[in-house]
A and B are shown apart, each in its own frame.
Chain A
């Protein structure tokens, strides 16, 4: 049974560019949450998708947007990249909102 998968594993972009990160949830899970983790910090909640709708959102600007597809996979889009967006982006899935979240390996984004 595959766990949560994310792609790509690493990414380098320049300021002002746009990026799309992808996540496939664990089999049987329909809820996907995205987190940003800066070096030496705990993950910070970006938003959560359930039934293809954004259900909850953290304190992130509108440059951060997402989508959930009918197969429950999800994308995180970040526009107008800033240097401060450099971080590990984590996707987590659960079989319902509020249930235990299982994390993927993350995508390491570097903005130059």
Chain B
């Protein structure tokens, strides 16, 4: 069956360390993959989009990789801060038909001072 999976367990790290979150998918061939941040009780906030022909993309302290052979995306936050604590969601458009996003269940990140 088609699915998209993220680390199910919460990730706890120390301030200043690099957080690495994983997103794996099966039976899709997405043209792009997106990462969102969601704080409790709020809507997801778009962070980054990476296309299938891009291996890596960076934005400030964020870095995303996209391996279409492994069917995996990694999301890194360098020099993490307590303000980075949130749930991070990956999403893809499975049939590249414009906007029907399929989301992973999210990984909760907690950065301790």
> Which chain B residues border A105 with CB–CB below 8 Å?
42-43
Q: Which residues of A contact B104 (CB under 8 A)?
A: 42
B49 at the interface (CB under 8 A from A): yes
Contact partners of B45 in chain A: CB under 8 A: 103
- Distance A48 CA – B93 CA, assembled complex (angstroms): 13
Give the total of B residues in contact with A, Cβ under 8 Å. Answer: 23
Residues of A within 8 A of B100 (CB): 33, 45, 48, 56, 58
Residue pair A48, B43 in contact (C-beta under 8 Å): no
Contact size range, A: 20 to 34
Number of A-B contacts (CB under 8 A): 67
Interfacial chain B residues near A98, Cβ < 8 Å: 93, 96-99
A70 interface hit (Cβ, 8 Å): no
**Is B34 a contact partner of A103 (Cβ separation < 8 A)?**
no
Asked if B16 lies at the interface with its beta carbon under 8 angstroms from chain A, I say: no
Query: B: which residues have CB within 8 A of A?
Result: 34, 36, 41-46, 49, 89, 91, 93, 96-106
9 pairs of A and B residues whose beta carbons are closest in the complex = A42-B103, A98-B98, A103-B43, A97-B98, A97-B99, A56-B100, A103-B44, A42-B105, A43-B103
